A and B are shown apart, each in its own frame.
Chain A
């Protein structure tokens, strides 16, 4: 009985983990996002200066690894990622899972905080 159920259990786990069935992310609040950006991202990032991490102005919609003057890891440069809101949400949930070898290890575990930061970044054009 256990053997017969195993494929169904695996299918359930796969579909449950699939983004096609994932819950929609919460709505983001850009003003809360500004505070979170300052307190959580600000150690390494600025909007207009490359520091430990690349500058972020205009990041939403941009291809990964192309900010001039920033020394990216080979892993991120060749990732092919475009920073859509969805891609940023996945990235902030576990960067090294999305791009193994990246130097960005920071995880923002709260879905609401991620949505807020992304809403803020969308405004920084």
Chain B
């Protein structure tokens, strides 16, 4: 579909939303800003979905009765960080005039995360590590796409928190320290 220039042009035309049309037609500053804001809202809502899922994952872990008390305390602390991220994202989305996505039900999250397969503390920690490591890379990966510079800061700051969680969880699971930098991105 995208193998020829004609294909790109015709394929591109099908995909152009307001943001794309504004970019091509040299829209006014305010129209372009609105399109950029709309794009930022879409990206922040995806990040918010990720935070909702992270909060649910720690909730599933906490309620699993698989975690020893000190580990449970750390899990609840990390969940608190994710709630703060959620609140930061909700505030940013509202500032841009968007509607924040709601969390799904705990049953949905349990199914999506295959919570039934968690049989030990190690299983819970491995799931948390996978989500935290992925979240670090996800936040770093959306920075080039976010339009507003204050959102770059928000994404970078949140990525640092996720990286902190990743390091703690990897250490708890006995993962070797990576020998090559960069560790993320």
A107 touches which of B16, B35, B144 (Cβ 8 Å)? B144
Q: Do B3 and A86 touch (CB < 8 A)? A: yes
CB-based contact A109/B144 at 8 Å:
yes
Q: How would residues 21 to 36 of chain B score, 1 for a CB under 8 Å from any chain A CB and 0 otherwise?
A: 0010000000000010
B149 interface hit (Cβ, 8 Å) = no
- The chain B residue with its CB closest to the CB of A18 is B5
B contact residues, total (Cβ < 8 Å): 41
Expressed in whole angstroms, the Cα–Cα distance for A49 and B3 within the complex equals 31
CB pair A38 B130 closer than 8 Å:
yes
Complex CA–CA separation, A74 to B46 (angstroms): 15
Main secondary structure of the interface of A (DSSP, over half): loop
CB distance from A10 to the nearest CB of B (A): 15
Interface bits A71-83 vs B (CB < 8 Å: 1, else 0): 0011100111110
Majority SS at the chain B contact face: helix
**B137 contacts the other chain (Cβ, under 8 Å)?**
yes
Interface bin, chain A: 35 or more
Q: Nearest B residue to A104 by beta-carbon distance?
A: B46
Residue of B nearest to A86 (CB): B2
Interface centre among B11, B15, B111, by most chain A C-beta atoms within 10 angstroms, is B15
CA distance A87 to B130 in the complex (A): 27
Q: Are B131 and A84 in contact (CB under 8 A)?
A: no
B 56-87 contacts with A by CB, 8 A:
none
Q: Considering the chains assembled together, what is the distance between the CA atoms of A79 and B14 in angstroms?
A: 6
- Hey, which chain B residues are within 8 Å of A79, CB to CB? 14-15
**A23, chain B: closest CB distance, angstroms:** 15
Q: Which residues of B contact A (CB under 8 A)?
A: 1-5, 8, 11, 14-20, 23, 35, 38-39, 42-43, 45-46, 49-50, 53, 111-114, 130-131, 133-135, 137-138, 141-142, 144-146
Residues of A within 8 A of B (CB): 18-20, 38-44, 46, 49-53, 73-75, 78-82, 84, 86-87, 90, 94-96, 98-109
Smallest CB-CB A-B distances: 4 pairs = A43-B134, A100-B19, A105-B145, A101-B17
Q: List 9 A-B contacts (CB under 8 A).
A: A38-B130, A39-B134, A39-B137, A43-B131, A43-B138, A75-B15, A80-B11, A101-B20, A105-B146
